[in-house]
Copies of this chain bind each other. A is one copy, B any other.
Amino acid sequence: MIIDRFVALATAHAPGQEVRQAAGDVGNLMRGRKLSGRPVDFSHGDVDAFLPTPGASDHFLEALAAGGRQAYTEYRGTADIRAGLSEALATFTGAPVSADDGTIVTPGTQGALFLAVASLVSPGDQVAIVQPDYFANRKLVEFFGGRPVPVTMDYLCGSDEAGLNLVQLQAAFEAGARVFLFSNPNNPTGAVYSKREIVEIARLAAAFGVTIIADQLYARLLYPNEAYAHIRAAGLPAERIITIMGPSKTESLSGYRLGIAFGAPAVIERMEKLQAIVSLRAAGYNQAVLRTWFREPAGWLEERILKHQAIRNDLLGVLRDGGLATREPQAGSYLFPTLPPLAVELADFVRLLRHQAGVIVTPGTEFGPYPNSIRLNFSQDHTEAVAAGQRIVEMARRYRRRGPPHAPSNCNLASRA
């Protein structure tokens, strides 16, 4: 039944949809009074705290003045914009990008992910996905009738590697998975895959004829002294990889809905055919904003990274001091702390956080079987983010399950100091 297909697409707890949630009977569960403080919405980055790339709106207005030429582009996006980007992306990822056959501009990276999965997954296909990973990955695979095969990532232990279980990955390929979909940096943990992990993923993919969809949305927000290995440069044939990026996060251009997919020409061609019936094209005028991408003013990106690093460090300190085991992200602006065992359901705790503490977070259950985790996008006002972090810690203390102290995780705070 068609209804079943949509049950799996539940969005009630998706980031940004909180406005559609009823408060429910959260008042009955409340312990103590409300916690005061300016509300912070950690479900997505705050583009008022970190402004869009300088010059973005100028390019939009130029496109508007250009008129029909920019309103009606090829479905895969304006040729000269793709040409400019293909050079920048080739340099960034360390492998050639074909402007003509190997790029497509999409309505956000979400649009690119949707088209890529639709172009590679048929009913019954097994698709290896990481656990935890971006919540839409599983939903996309299931929507097209595919079967997600989870591959776990032991993200809490260590920061030199993401912690992907490569034995499980090989087993998934041996069992028949021919597509591997993963985000790097990982969403929700901020883990970056090590060179060793990337090389091994590429080796396994080559051995089993697997096509890779690499969601690298956060790859530019890499903290100082961290290394990033691009899977495009790991020796796989070009027709085996689709890479997805976009300026919605680091560059705060989410309101323009822009993304790009690049790589395997045969897959890009399918994606364009599908885009023609999904939404025709990314909004024509908006596409022009991509002219700012990878061409930001000197020092702009570095400053943005340092500011995020400072928030990361402070918030991480608050969460860990409060007893919430949390991986230090190597890139991006997500934290995925583990809560203590709670006396309430995670969904209720998230609702309580919102109504009692003025803090919006995304429940860990959106990313896999993580009923004791929450995700925070810390691209926020620094001071308010830290204050909200303190409220989270206080709330975790209040709603902690009474009883013997819980066993620390294998990778507890002491071992990570």
Contact = CB atoms under 8 A, between A and B. Distances in A.
Contacts of A280: 16, 108, 110, 257
A70 B255 contact: yes
Contacts of A274: 6, 9, 143
Contacts of A279: 106-108, 110-111, 114, 257, 278-279
A2 B274 CA distance: 12
Contact of A75 (B11, B254, B256): B11
A46 B74 contact: no
A114 B278 contact: yes
Nearest to A288: B255
A310 interface: no
Interface stretch (A25-33, A61-69, A86-94, A180-188): A61-69
Given A143-B277, A277-B114, A280-B110, A17 B75 contact: yes
A60 B218 CA distance: 27
Contact of A285 (B16, B74, B114, B255): B255
B283 A107 contact: yes
A17 to B, nearest CB: 6
A272 interface: yes
Contacts of A282: 257
Contacts of A285: 255-256
Nearest to A9: B273
Given A2-B122, A19-B79, A276-B11, A71 B107 contact: no
A236 B4 CA distance: 26
Contacts of A95: none
A140 interface: yes
Copies of this protein chain in the complex: 2
Interface of A: 1-2, 5-6, 9-11, 14, 16-17, 19-20, 44, 46-48, 57, 60-61, 63-64, 67-68, 70-75, 79, 106-108, 110-111, 113-114, 119-122, 136, 139-140, 143, 254-257, 269-270, 272-274, 276-286
A359 to B, nearest CB: 16
A281 to B, nearest CB: 7
A365 to B, nearest CB: 16
A9 B276 contact: yes
A49 to B, nearest CB: 8
A147 B21 CA distance: 37
A245 B57 CA distance: 28
8 contacts: A1-B122, A2-B121, A6-B119, A6-B273, A16-B73, A20-B74, A257-B280, A257-B281
A253 to B, nearest CB: 9
B255 A283 contact: yes
A159 to B, nearest CB: 30
> Which of A44, A71, A75, A279: most chain B Cβ within 10 A?
A279
B79 A67 contact: no
A273 B113 CA distance: 16
A277 B68 CA distance: 29
